[in-house]
Amino acid sequence: MRKETALVELYGLIDFYYENRDMPVPDDFDFFDKIKECCEVLEVNNEEIIKEFKLQKI
């Protein structure tokens, strides 16, 4: 995955979180794993992203 693609996906995931955080998701969808994948490509700390955007498992 290219950095540009990862950035777009990360943005989409964060947007998805705020719009749908109380809604059920498919069992095979791991939101935080997707965040981690994007952060690895972007070479940023995924824990910092989770903290800064106040992303929590519900």
Asked whether residue 4 carries a pLDDT value surpassing 70, the answer given is yes
Indicate whether this model's pTM tops 0.95: no
Asked whether residue 52 carries a pLDDT value surpassing 90, the answer given is yes
pLDDT recorded at residue 27: 82
pLDDT recorded at residue 58: 67
Count the Cβ atoms, other than its own, within 10 Å of residue 45: 11
CA distance 18 to 24: 13
C-beta of residue 46 within 8 angstroms of C-beta of residue 35: yes
Token pair of 57 as six digits: 């498992």
Share of the chain above pLDDT 70, in %: 98
* Helix orientation angle between 31-42 and 3-20, rounded to the nearest 10 degrees: 150
Going from N- to C-terminal start, the domains of the chain cover: 3-52
Mean pLDDT of the 29-34 span? 91
Token pair of 9 as six digits: 């996906």
